[in-house]
Amino acid sequence: MSVTTDVRTRLMDLGIAQGDTTQPWVILIGGLSDRVTQPHMAVTATTGNAPLNVMGTDRLLRPTFRIVLQGATNGYADAETKAYEVWDALHRKPFGNFIAVEGTNAPAWLGYSEDNHKPRWSLNFSSIRK
């Protein structure tokens, strides 16, 4: 599977995110959506790093990814809590084909959306993957 699909599946398996767009904290792939009215998050692949070839073994991929969360209108505290819940679930917690997952920064406050005052948070991760 893809990096984004694996991360999405992991967060859903842990009960941190949902797959149903009518439920709070659905996780999308590729970006946030104006069509989702519930608080939600999105995972996207970012630039990544060059693969590793360690002592003649199979190449180890080093993808990077970003998760952006958008809470409910005026829901700063709930969105912050969810951002740290995602952080705690992924930072230094290998899973599946991921040998290592490392947060590159703590959850970062992005401010409120301009049109509806919904809080946004960003989390960035680097990883090593089989």
Q: What is this structure's pTM?
A: 0.92
| Residue that the structure tokens 């797959």 belong to | 19
Q: What is the pLDDT of residue 54?
A: 66
According to DSSP, residue 59 is labeled: P
**Helix residue spans in the chain (DSSP H):** 3-13, 76-90
The CATH homologous superfamily to which domain 3-129 belongs is Phage tail protein-like (3.30.2000.10)
| Element containing residue 128 per DSSP (H, E) | strand 119-129
**pLDDT mean by block of 10 residues, the chain; 130 residues:** 94 97 95 94 92 73 96 96 98 95 96 91 95
- The residue type of 77 is A
Measuring CA to CA, how many Å separate 57 from each of 54, 96, 97? 6, 19, 15
